[in-house]
Amino acid sequence: MNVSNNPLLADMQSMLADLRASQNVTQLPSQPVQPVESTGNTARADFGGMLKSAIDNVNGLALEAGDMRARMEMGDTSITLAETMIAAQKSSIAFEAAVQVRNKFVEAYDKIMQMPV
């Protein structure tokens, strides 16, 4: 079978090109890492801010996925099933990563608490 003359393949390629053209994919701006000053509470405040920012990001992804899912279920034609599924997967992966980080913190805390004083 000659694949280059296959009309199904041509239709799929044109649909892919249309999908790529219609999607408005935005890149997250890259943020340079700022050095942490080692003066007292500054490092603690920066760590706390970084942790809060990460949790807010996970929460934002979950809210966005939930909103897209609800809009999709209500029949909103401005979003596609693919966009909805991608948002849900991003949310799931971010949540799983946050759980893994939490588990490592708990493990480190347990090791510190078991150290003899």
Q: What pTM, to 2 d.p., does this model score? A: 0.57
Q: pLDDT digits over 76-94, tens only?
A: 899 999 999 999 999 999 9
Q: Rounded distance, CA 33 to CA 31, Å? A: 6
Q: What is the pLDDT of residue 13?
A: 72
Q: Rounded distance, CA 65 to CA 86, Å? A: 9
Reported residue count of the chain is 117
